[in-house]
């Protein structure tokens, strides 16, 4: 196993680690009925979870669409699901749209599986320039129950390897909502720096995003 847990044949095998500072319940040992709310919130997978990374296939399309919708709502709809959000999510995260990505020669879509189930995915878009950087990470979504298991890091590392193979350059760029502090600190900890501001408009409201770049 080399390069951050990625095997020579392109798979990535890592072990999910429980976060030591948290009270941890396994997914098989649910908190007792009288558990305090905060104890439920910090449930994590304690049991060892091995994940693998591979290129997405057409038969993954439905699962990717469902996972994408789930992660989007979990991340951005903290105030509840408005009609605007419902329309956006149901139009964007469809198996047809995922299949269109898979048929686009400028796209690479990788999935991470744990116990044969989908736990996360990453979408790379080539030829989508920010300044001198030709590769965009368009989406990186991990199901919350797998957060902190190293899957996001592994997908990002793997994607940068794909970028290197395809463009001769590991550099990538992306945009991330400026209020998504968890993702911003995740990207900063992995060497990405802010390189501008972009806006995402939804329902007539502009949401500020940070443009982040890794050039090394």
Ligand X SMILES: CC(C)(COP(=O)(O)OP(=O)(O)OC[C@H]1O[C@@H](n2cnc3c(N)ncnc32)[C@H](O)[C@@H]1OP(=O)(O)O)[C@@H](O)C(=O)NCCC(=O)NCCS
Long-range contacts of 81-85 (CB under 8 A, 24+ apart): 82/203, 84/202, 84/203, 85/202
| Binding mask of the shown chain, residues 146 to 185, with x at each position contacting ligand X by CB under 6 A | -xxxxxxx--------------------x-x---x-xx-x
Task: Report the site for ligand X in 5-24 (rule: CB under 6 A).
Answer: none
CB of 98 to ligand X, least distance (A): 17
Window of 57-65, 143-151, 158-166, 196-204 that interacts with ligand X by CB under 6 A: 143-151
Cα 38 to chain centroid, rounded = 25
| Binding mask of the shown chain, residues 68 to 97, with x at each position contacting ligand X by CB under 6 A | ---x---x----------------------
Of the candidates 6, 142, 213, 214, which one interacts with ligand X according to CB under 6 A? 142
CB of 203 to ligand X, least distance (A): 19
When the beta carbons of 140 and 214 are compared against ligand X, the nearer one is 140
DSSP for the chain reads -BTTTB-TTS-B-EE----TTS----TTSPPPTT--HHHHHT----S--EEEEEE--GGGHHHHHHHHHHHHHHHH-TT---HHHHHHHHHHS-HHHHHHHHT-TTEEEEEEEETTEEEEEEEEEEEEEETTEEEEEEEEEE-GGGTTSSHHHHHHHHHHHHHHHHHS---EEEEEETT-HHHHHHHHHTT-EEEEEEEEEETTEEEEEEEEEE--
Of the candidates 159, 186, 192, 211, which one interacts with ligand X according to CB under 6 A? 186
CB of 194 to ligand X, least distance (A): 13
Check binding of 189 to ligand X (CB under 6 A). Answer: yes
How many residues of this chain interact with ligand X, rule: CB under 6 A?
Answer: 20
Find the residue with minimal CB distance to ligand X.
152
CB of 16 to ligand X, least distance (A): 8
Q: What residues line the site for ligand X (CB under 6 A)?
A: 71, 75, 140-142, 147-153, 174, 176, 180, 182-183, 185-186, 189
């Amino acid at each position: 196993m080399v390069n951050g847990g990625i095997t020579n044949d392109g798979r990535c095998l890592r072990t999910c680690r429980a976060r030591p500072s948290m009270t941890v319940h396994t997914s098989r040992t649910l908190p007792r009925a009288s558990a305090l709310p905060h104890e439920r919130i910090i449930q994590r997978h304690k049991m060892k979870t091995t994940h693998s990374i591979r290129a997405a296939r057409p038969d993954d399309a439905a699962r990717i669409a469902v996972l994408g919708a789930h992660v989007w709502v979990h991340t951005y709809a903290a105030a509840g699901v408005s009609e605007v959000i419902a329309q956006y999510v149901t139009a964007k995260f469809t198996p047809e749209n995922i299949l269109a990505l898979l048929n686009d020669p400028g796209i690479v879509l990788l999935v991470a599986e744990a116990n044969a189930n989908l736990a996360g995915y990453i979408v790379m878009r080539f030829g989508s320039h920010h300044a001198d950087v030709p590769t965009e990470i368009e989406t990186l979504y991990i199901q919350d129950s797998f957060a902190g298991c190293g899957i996001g890091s592994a997908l990002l590392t793997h994607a940068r390897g794909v970028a290197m193979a395809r463009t001769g350059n590991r550099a990538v760029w992306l945009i991330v909502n400026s209020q998504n502090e968890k993702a911003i600190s995740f990207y900063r900890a992995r060497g990405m720096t802010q390189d501008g501001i972009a806006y995402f408009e939804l329902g007539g409201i502009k949401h500020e995003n940070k443009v982040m770049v890794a050039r090394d």
